[in-house]
Amino acid sequence: MSTAMMTMRRAAALGARHMLAASSSRVVPIRHMSADVGAAMEKIRAAGLLKTQGLIAGQWVDAYDGKTIEVENPATGEVLASVSCMGSRETSDAIASAHSTFYSWSKLTANERSKALRKWYDLIIAHKEELALLMTLEQGKPMKEALGEVNYGASFLEYFAEEAKRIYGDIIPPTLSDRRLLVLKQPVGVVGAITPWNFPLAMITRKVGPALACGCTVVVKPSEFTPLTALAAADLALQAGIPAGALNVVMGNAPEIGDALLQSTQVRKITFTGSTAVGKKLMAGSADTVKKVSLELGGNAPCIVFDDADIDVAVKGSLAAKFRNSGQTCVCANRILVQEGIYEKFASAFIKAVQSLQVGNGLEETTSQGPLINEAAVQKVEKFINDATSKGANVMVGGKRHSLGMTFYEPTVVGNVSNDMLLFREEVFGPVAPLIPFKTEEEAIHLANDTNAGLAAYIFTKSIPRSWRVSESLEYGLVGVNEGIISTEVAPFGGVKQSGLGREGSKYGVDEYLELKYICMGNMS
């Protein structure tokens, strides 16, 4: 009997009748909801993509103690579904299942793994409408952005399906004539992947795509706020022929799940996207079992607008960099540094653009700004604005909760922000654009680098030498020059300093899931 099966039996003996009863996927009732939300949920259910149980060893299972958590629509407060609230026991079984499947999945040819990943990509694209609806409902982002994320998320599967076939080793010229020296690249093993709510699909595929391509197996823990998109994507993975156990999903009690992943000697790698505070805990917790770790953590992106910038390009670029997902992305422009000569002109054009943003329910076509994820997020924004105004900053537009109520917040511009304010020092993670005046290029670089974060930075200038000079001086993993949206599956994404370790996407993305093995062959003459 496989280790996974033994562990599953143990779980059953411990009273996991929920798991057994649930193994034939249950029908999820549609709760009473407003007409548009109800219709959207019906469409998702009709496509078979409304999953509410965890996925362990290819089985949809309830939490062993039957506990559930409610997933809410941040735009309306309606409960969309109740999902299994899992903990350490379910995570241990998921790890055991991933561990036993590792031996078969990693032995497949790269071509076979590639085909399954490509099929998963095709199925996600075929169901892009339902996945985008789910994302808008549970996360709040406007449908257009949600559709963009489905394409972006799927692109990692397509890219790594191709990259699976290009994981080459090396042959090294030997130092002794009777030897042959080889380097093999082999999968790390079982991967624990912990992901945030702000990109419910793409943060998963950006990890699972390269992990599966390399031959690793995975236990994913999506955020409790956005598990539905993750579960729907996992169902499509099963349909695509990704074998039972290669991809497992558990959600619920985050510290318990995290600890189970950290303590297991079978989990050889932790990959995490989320806050810097949790990232540090996971890094420390990985030390005991010496796991490989990659971390995509918080940012504090500077967006530098120089006097010589094209004003239209600068306004369009900083608006996109700031207000995507209502300011809730790690690469959102967090500090807009504007040179004195262009400050007034930029501020008035930028404010005009901000006033044109439409706040509303993401299901409505005209909406460009959805709600914030929860009440705590709004309170954080309020705290940062109060701190700034008490220290001399002025609210130029917005600056309060939106009349729609719930967690909607007015797109906001705050002027004369300085480096002693929270808006400068920390990630606001909301629709607030702080403007910070500066005099010289040196001052801009100093201000931009005056933070422990180092993920994304943006500069707007027409000078080619300046764009090189400043890009090279910025202590950041990603730099956008005259462009506010820079993420793509073909380029390496990741931060320096306390924004993280490792890179995702691109040809470098597979390195995080591979070990090098050196083989020395003697007596070869």
Active site residues: 296, 330
In whole angstroms, what separates CA 257 from the centre of its chain? 18
- CA atoms of 172 and 38, how far apart (whole Å): 61
Stretch that binds ligand NAP, among 36-44, 79-87, 191-199, 478-486 (CB under 6 A): 191-199
Please say which residue, 254 or 311, places its beta carbon nearer to ligand NAP: 254
Q: How far is the CB of 482 from ligand NAP (least distance, A)?
A: 22
Taking the complex as a whole, the smallest distance from the CB of residue 31 to ligand NAP amounts, in Å, to 21
In contact, 371 and 406? CB cutoff 8 Å: yes
Q: Which is nearer to ligand NAP, 119 or 269 (CB)?
A: 269
For ligand NAP, give the closer residue by CB, 396 or 455.
Answer: 455
340 CB burial (10 A radius; 0-12, 13-18, 19+): exposed
How many residues belong to the site for ligand NAP (CB under 6 A)?
28
Residue 427 CA to residue 321 CA, distance in Å, equals: 14
For every residue of 470-521, which 3-state class applies, written as one string? HHHHCCCCEEEECCCCCCCCCCCECCCHHHEECCECCHHHHHHHEEEEEEEE
The values of phi and psi at residue 307, to 5°, are: -50, -35
Cα–Cα–Cα angle for 503, 114, 45, rounded to 5 degrees: 90
Q: Which residues contact 426 (CB under 8 A, 6 or more apart)?
A: 300, 384
The span from the CA of 432 to the CA of 99, in Å, is: 45
Return the closest-CA partner of residue 167 out of 154, 186, 181.
Answer: 186
DSSP state of 369: B
Beta bridge partners of 292: 269
**DSSP at 39:** H
Is residue 255 near ligand NAP by the rule CB under 6 A? yes
Which of positions 398-427 make contact with ligand NAP (CB under 6 A)? 427
Using CB under 6 A as the binding rule, the residues of this chain from 272 to 331 that contact ligand NAP are 273-275, 278, 281, 296-299, 330
Written as one string, the DSSP assignment of 177-208 is: TT-EEEEEEEE--EEEEE--SSSTTHHHHHHH
Closest distance between ligand NAP and the C-beta of residue 110, in Å?
27
194 interacts with ligand NAP by CB under 6 A: yes
Nearest approach, Cβ of residue 104 and ligand NAP (Å) = 28
Stretch 496-515 residues interacting with ligand NAP (CB under 6 A): 500
Q: How far is the CB of 115 from ligand NAP (least distance, A)?
A: 28
Residue 488, both tokens: 């793509």
| Interface with ligand NAP in residues 427-486 (CB under 6 A) | 427, 455
Q: What is the DSSP letter of 359?
A: B
Minimum distance, C-beta of residue 190 to ligand NAP, in the bound complex (Å) = 16
Residue with tokens 């999902």: 83
**Comparison of 330 and 417: residue with beta carbon closer to ligand NAP:** 330
Among 136, 195, 325, 361, binds ligand NAP (CB under 6 A): 195
The residue of the chain with the least Cβ separation from ligand NAP equals: 258
Measured between alpha carbons, how far is 285 from 305 in angstroms, rounded to an integer? 41
Separation CA 416–CA 414 (nearest Å): 7
Q: Which is nearer to ligand NAP, 402 or 503 (CB)?
A: 503
Q: Which is nearer to ligand NAP, 74 or 215 (CB)?
A: 74
**Span near ligand NAP by CB under 6 A; candidates 92-100, 253-261, 337-345, 461-469:** 253-261
Q: What angle do CA 83, 194, 28 make, to 5 degrees?
A: 15
Residue 39 binds ligand NAP (CB under 6 A): no
Nearer to ligand NAP (CB atom), residue 332 or residue 459: 332
Per-residue contact track with ligand NAP, 197 to 236, x per CB under 6 A?
xxx---x-----------------x-xxx-----------
User: Whole-angstrom Cα distance, residue 135 to residue 199?
Assistant: 9
CB of 469 to ligand NAP, least distance (A): 26
Minimum distance between the CB of residue 285 and ligand NAP, rounded to whole angstroms? 8
| DSSP, res 292 | E
Closest to ligand NAP by CB, 201 or 278: 278
Chain contacts with ligand NAP (rule: CB under 6 A): 194-199, 203, 221, 223-225, 254-255, 258, 273-275, 278, 281, 296-299, 330, 427, 455, 495, 500
